[in-house]
Structure 1
Amino acid sequence: MGKTRDQNNVIITGATGMVGEGVLMRCLNSPEIDGVLVINRKPSGYSHAKLKEIIHADFFDFSAIESQLKGYNACFFCLGITSVGADQETYYKMTYTLTMHVAQTLSKLNSDMTFCYVSGGGTNAHSRLKWAQVKGKTESDLTKLPFEQVFNFRPGFIKPLPGQKYAHKFYTYINWLFPLGRAIYPGGFCTMAELGDAMINTLSHTNERRILEGKDIIALSKE
């Protein structure tokens, strides 16, 4: 901890999903973040003085945009698919293979980078559940890459920010559960603001490789 702040320029993936959008909103509003690059398959719909956007279809091949990915000291990786309805081969490709390809490319281009990966509560490489195994393997192999830091985030229920365009519609009906869930099981419930702020606060740390469960995310957001 205690890193001297220079400039914080971050790359965000998944900005057209709920988590990525929320992290983007927190970064755009944070004085700690100087510049944001989002890489999307479709426009995010956001415009801001410190925001740049690259529309790129193939996340398995960044060769055409590699020159634009240099000079960033963080990646907040919020891209992913649900295991519900996905066959094992597709889920592995879109969770492990895609994440590792992006991470390997960025670690080659930015040796001082902090990589934050949104995994999920219940992730465990030794679980009987295939999705938990794949996420666990992804977490483990990310820590072996030559980043300055790697943080694996394992949030549970996430309460969206007001005004999010890409929040899941079912949250409209179950947000009332949040105060009760937080009181009974605080580690399983965090706000989007807490998750985004925790990612931003990793940039004041040095040389860490950590798994962050729900309570850790909440604590880090308050630093």
Structure 2
Amino acid sequence: MRVLVFGATGMVGQGVLRECLAAPDVSQVMVVERTSVEQVHPKLQELLLADLMTLHQHEKELQGFDACFFCLGGSSSGMSEEAYRRLTYDLTLDVASLLARLTPSMTFVYVSGAGADSSERGPSMWARVRGQTENALFRLPFAQVYSIRPAIIQPLHGIRSKTLSYRMLYQVLSPLFPLVRWLAPRMVLSTELMGQAMLELARKGADIHVLEARDIHRMGKRQG
């Protein structure tokens, strides 16, 4: 299996990249990034772009992949709806539309967020935009499109968020993860389980196309 990873320097992206490189049935991983992931591995290739809107200039390198794990995204804090929409909806759809045209047999897995608003009419700006993005992706002519909506993610294996405020938050919350996991075992996901679940979607698919935390947990545990 040949896979593309967007956002491999982020916390979720680092997790799925790690699992892809470890998976025996994954022969090639191409990460598309603004900056290098700073890893060397026989399976790993990098396509470094200062501006992802120039992705169409690299069509030849992007053809023939079996799956795309789209882990790009950011916080809406302090952003207008227009700016957040450009970052979240416009960029995602530009990339996905190109890939759907190049390789319609691909499985596209989009990392959304718990609380995304599929109705597109709710009061929360970020949730509306995420819901709009999900709905637009489902209309593209991929073989399969899945949206995963994690809530609480525990970073493992030395993985860290790029965002300082998130790193500080995880440092504070780290001692509480065992308690939260005990109280709600299917709501706390690890970066490892996230990567395993995304790979399992690419391998075997699922009977639903929007996966909440409990569904992601089940999918990750289904691996193998």
State the TM-score, normalizing by the size of structure 2: 0.91
For 1:42-75, what per-residue CA distance to the aligned partner results, in whole angstroms no more than 9, with x for missing partners? 1111111000001112212312211100010100
- How far the C-alpha of 1:166 sits from its partner, in A, is 4.1
Q: Which runs of 5+ in 1 are unaligned?
A: 1-7
Secondary structure of the residue aligned to 2:12 is helix
Q: Which runs of 5+ in 2 are unaligned?
A: none
- In 1, Cα distance between equivalents of 2:141 and 2:149: 22
CA RMSD of aligned residues (A): 1.6
Following superposition of structure 1 onto structure 2, how do residues 1-223 of structure 1 map, counting pairs within 5 Å? 8-124=1-117, 125-166=120-161, 168-170=166-168, 171-205=170-204, 210-223=209-222
For 1:142-165, what per-residue CA distance to the aligned partner results, in whole angstroms no more than 9, with x for missing partners? 011010111100000100122225
- In 1, Cα distance between equivalents of 2:214 and 2:158: 25
- In 1, Cα distance between equivalents of 2:79 and 2:48: 25
Alignment check: 8 A CA contact 1:157 1:189 kept: yes
Aligned residue pairs total 216
State the TM-score, normalizing by the size of structure 1: 0.92
- In 1, Cα distance between equivalents of 2:39 and 2:161: 12
- How far the C-alpha of 1:208 sits from its partner, in A, is 5.9
Secondary structure of the residue aligned to 1:116 is strand
- In 1, Cα distance between equivalents of 2:156 and 2:19: 9
Percent of pairs with identical residues:
40
Deviates most, 166-175 or 24-33: 166-175
**Any runs of at least 4 consecutive aligned residues in structure 1 with deviations exceeding 6 A, and if so which?**
none
- In 2, Cα distance between equivalents of 1:208 and 1:69: 28
